[in-house]
């Protein structure tokens, strides 16, 4: 029987993880079955228990369950502990293990685009699981300063306190989105606004050189703004490939090459 893997979220239809993991497996000569798994908003625990009870080998976790996944794990990696969010789950010796591969995926994606990260001033919009996962890897990649701006200020504050508790010397600021101004080298949209179709309003006084939209597969207000300002921009498909490669290596012990799986996304201006 083929080994079973899945990605769990709500919504889940947009996910391209199954096609990626099947493509990696074909390239590496591994047989597997990787499905999408929709969990009810209050049904995450029951859904992952059912998956692993039914011989599931590994799960990726997406919106909005990454923080719940972290809370469920018996063992987490250091980068998942710092993020307090998990996107990759597997059982080992009867214990549920979790890792967070989003940050390494984003760093690999931006590096592949040849956008500068060293000494960069970075603005991240949003303070959910995805933001938690990328902060520390971005600092490790050499960025000088990160500002997190969230619609709900209290959530940004909570995230900042969590991170600084581990690494008090990091240059990590927070802001309300409406209060943003000035210049950033790179802006990363880590809100889920485009998933829900909600508007994302950014102040006119905010300026930036590069724009990375974590969502993928459709156009967004953020990508439209980047086009309007003639700023180089990318949607999140390359990050998806990057984080999937990390998860694949955890589960299978071998690693596909990022460049082999980057296609031209129709939403990259």
Determine if residue 100 is labeled as part of a ligand binding site: no
Q: Looking at beta carbons only, is 96 or 127 nearer to ligand NDP? A: 127
Contact pick of 56, 103, 236, 256 for ligand NDP (by CB under 6 A): 236
Say whether residue 216 binds ligand NDP (CB under 6 A).
yes
Is 131 assigned a ligand-binding role in the annotation? no
Closest CA to 231 of 262, 200, 207: 207
Quote the CA–CA distance of 247 and 90 in Å, as a whole number.
10
Residue 11 binding ligand NDP, by CB under 6 A: no
Neighbours of 262 (CB within 10 A): 15
Q: Is 79 annotated as a binding residue?
A: no
CB-CB neighbours of 169 under 10 Å: 7
Asked if residue 153 belongs to a known ligand binding site, the reply is yes
Q: Are 148 and 160 in contact (CB under 8 A)?
A: yes
Output the CA–CA distances (angstroms, integers) from residue 243 to 17, 67, 100, 203, in the order listed: 10, 17, 8, 31
Q: At closest approach, how far in Å is the CB of 1 from ligand NDP? A: 29
Asked if residue 78 belongs to a known ligand binding site, the reply is yes
Spatial distance between the Cα atoms of 266 and 80, rounded to a whole number of angstroms: 32
Q: State the number of binding residues for ligand NDP (CB under 6 A).
A: 30
Per CB under 6 A, contacts with ligand NDP among 64-83 are 64, 66
Q: Let me know if 3 is a catalytic residue.
A: no
Closest separation in Å from C-beta 58 to ligand NDP: 16
Query: How many Å from the N-terminal Cα to the C-terminal Cα in the chain?
Result: 43
CA angle 110, 198, 216 (to 5 degrees): 30
Please tell me which residue in 3, 4, 36, 66 is annotated as part of the active site.
66
* By the rule CB under 6 A, 124 interacts with ligand NDP: no
Among 22, 151, 158, 227, binds ligand NDP (CB under 6 A): 151
35 sits in which H/E element: strand 32-38
Rounded distance between C-alpha atoms, residue 150 and residue 33, angstroms? 37
* Rounded (10°) angle between helices 129-140 and 153-166: 40
Q: Is 233 in the site for ligand NDP (CB under 6 A)?
A: no
If one asks whether residue 102 binds ligand NDP (CB under 6 A), the answer comes out as yes
Q: By CB under 6 A, what part of segment 160-199 binds ligand NDP?
A: 190-193, 195-196, 198
Q: Using CB under 6 A as the criterion, which residues of the chain lie in contact with ligand NDP when the complex forms? A: 63-64, 66, 102, 105, 126-131, 150-152, 155, 190-193, 195-196, 198, 200, 214-216, 236, 239-240, 243
Binding site for shikimate, residues? 15-17, 62, 87, 102, 212, 243
Catalytic residues: 66
């Amino acid at each position: 029987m083929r080994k079973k893997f899945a990605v769990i979220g709500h919504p889940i239809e947009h996910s391209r993880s199954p096609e990626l993991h099947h493509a990696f497996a074909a390239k590496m000569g591994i047989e597997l079955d990787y499905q999408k798994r929709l969990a009810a908003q209050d049904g995450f625990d029951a859904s992952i228990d059912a998956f692993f009870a039914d011989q599931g080998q590994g799960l990726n976790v997406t919106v909005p369950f990454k923080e719940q996944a972290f809370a469920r794990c018996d063992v987490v990696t250091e980068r998942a502990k710092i993020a307090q969010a998990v996107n990759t789950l597997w059982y080992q010796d009867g214990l549920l293990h979790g890792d967070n591969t989003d940050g390494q995926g984003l760093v690999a994606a931006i590096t592949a685009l040849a956008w500068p990260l060293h000494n960069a001033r970075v603005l991240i919009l949003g303070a959910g699981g995805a933001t938690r996962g990328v902060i520390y890897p971005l600092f490790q990649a050499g960025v000088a300063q990160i500002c997190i701006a969230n619609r709900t200020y209290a959530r940004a504050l909570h995230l900042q306190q969590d991170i600084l508790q581990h690494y008090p010397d990091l240059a990590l600021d927070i802001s309300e989105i409406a209060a943003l101004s000035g210049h950033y080298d790179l802006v990363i949209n880590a809100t889920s606004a485009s998933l829900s179709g909600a508007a994302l309003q950014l102040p006119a006084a905010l300026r930036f050189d590069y724009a990375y939209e974590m969502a993928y597969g459709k156009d967004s207000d953020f990508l439209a703004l980047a086009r309007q300002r003639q700023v180089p921009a990318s949607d999140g498909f390359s990050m998806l490939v990057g984080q999937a490669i990390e998860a694949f290596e955890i589960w299978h012990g071998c690693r596909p090459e990022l460049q082999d799986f980057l296609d031209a996304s129709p939403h990259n201006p």
